[in-house]
């Protein structure tokens, strides 16, 4: 069910041509929570240039998570913070996807995310 909701969210972004959270995003999509008491689904936004990547997760149009770093050969990345939270995945010319473990509004949660080239 979560994958269906995420697919609907991405499709809505594509059909409307709308990037609700950041007009300069290179990729837009969504995230879904699989474990923990966090928002079930939300928006994702990626800014990508050469090897630099910046990923934002948005809950009700407010940024609820953010990480940035570098990609490696093949577009793979594993972004972490000092507390052990992470966003990881792979980015290609047309799409990006991966998994995450983050603290949102004081709760530890994990799940998956996906985005398409804007």
Reported confidence tier of residue 23, pLDDT bands at 50, 70, 90:
low
pLDDT of residue 84: 95
Sheet holding 62-70, edge to edge: 62-70, 52-59, 41-49, 27-35, 107-117, 95-104, 86-91, 76-80
Give the dihedral of Cα atoms 100, 66, 93, 116; nearest 10 deg: 80
Assigned domain for 87 exists = yes
Closest to 91 in 3D by CA, of 65, 55, 41, 59? 55
CATH number for 107: 2.40.128
Q: What is the pLDDT of the chain when averaged over all its residues?
A: 86
- pLDDT band per the 50, 70, 90 thresholds, residue 31: very high
Residue with tokens 């928002």: 39
60 domain residue, yes or no: yes
Q: Is 108 inside a domain boundary?
A: yes
Give me the pLDDT at residue 3, please.
56
CA nearest 49: which of 29, 24, 22, 20? 24
Q: What is the pLDDT of residue 92?
A: 97
Residue 74 belongs to some domain of the structure: yes
pLDDT tens-digit map of 32-59: 999 999 999 999 999 999 999 999 999 8
The pLDDT assigned to 7 comes to 54
Q: 0.95 exceeded by the pTM? A: no
**Inside any domain, residue 34:** yes
- pLDDT, greater one: 5 or 72: 72
pLDDT for residue 61: 79
Per the structure, how many domains does the chain have? 1
Domain that holds residue 113: 2-15+25-117
Instruction: Confirm whether 72 is domain-assigned.
Output: yes
Has residue 81 been placed in a domain?
yes
Instruction: Tell me, yes or no, whether 20 lies in a domain.
Output: no
């Amino acid at each position: 069910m979560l994958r269906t909701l995420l697919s609907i969210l991405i499709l809505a972004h594509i059909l409307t041509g709308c990037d609700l959270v950041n007009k300069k995003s290179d990729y837009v999509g969504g995230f879904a929570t699989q474990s923990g008491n966090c928002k079930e689904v939300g928006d994702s936004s990626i800014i990508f240039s050469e090897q630099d990547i910046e990923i934002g997760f948005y809950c009700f149009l407010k940024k609820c998570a953010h990480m940035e770093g570098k990609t490696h050969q093949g577009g793979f990345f594993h972004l972490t913070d000092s507390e052990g939270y992470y966003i990881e995945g792979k980015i290609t010319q047309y799409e990006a996807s991966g998994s995450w473990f983050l603290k949102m509004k004081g709760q530890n949660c994990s799940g998956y995310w996906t985005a398409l080239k804007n």
